[in-house]
Structure 1
Amino acid sequence: MKLLCVLLSLVVLVGCSNRAVYDNIQLNQRNECFKLPPSQRSDCLDSIDKSYDEYRKEREEIVDDEVAA
């Protein structure tokens, strides 16, 4: 039974795309911003406002730089 649960968990994890994970993290961060007072909320939302494509480009540049070093 334990093995079945582990295998099922792995299948579910593999099924999650990078974009889905990113979107979920963004949603959680956005929810945290809305817990802040209005005076801080706008800055918080601005700091996390990055599209997945922007994030992916930046990540690829960092990975490429690390591989080249």
Structure 2
Amino acid sequence: MKLIILVFILFSVVSCSKKALYTNLQYNHTSACEKLKSNQYEDCMSQYSDSYEDYTAKRQGTTLNK
């Protein structure tokens, strides 16, 4: 039983870590976009507009219903 709980906690932490990493990378990318001119800024920001959930769905070949 303890092993099952430990495995569940481990998977939860890994999942949260991936989301935090993705969020941090998105923040860094959008910060870099802010240094661009307006037409380049819009293109840059559109590249980094996906949420983590959208990103993982695309990676898995599925789409989220919104």
Alignment TM-score, normalising by the size of structure 2: 0.63
Q: Supply the RMSD in Å over aligned alpha carbons.
A: 1.5
When Rg is computed on C-alpha atoms for both structures, the one with the higher figure is 1
Aligned residues: 47
Q: Which has the higher contact order (CA 8 A, sep 6+)?
A: 1
Q: Provide structure 2 residue ranges, at least 5 long, that are not aligned to the other structure.
A: 1-13, 62-66
The percent of aligned pairs where both chains have the same amino acid is 38
Provide the rounded CA distance (Å) in 1 between the counterparts of 2:43 and 2:27.
16
Q: Provide structure 1 residue ranges, at least 5 long, that are not aligned to the other structure.
A: 1-13, 62-69
Alignment TM-score, normalising by the size of structure 1: 0.60
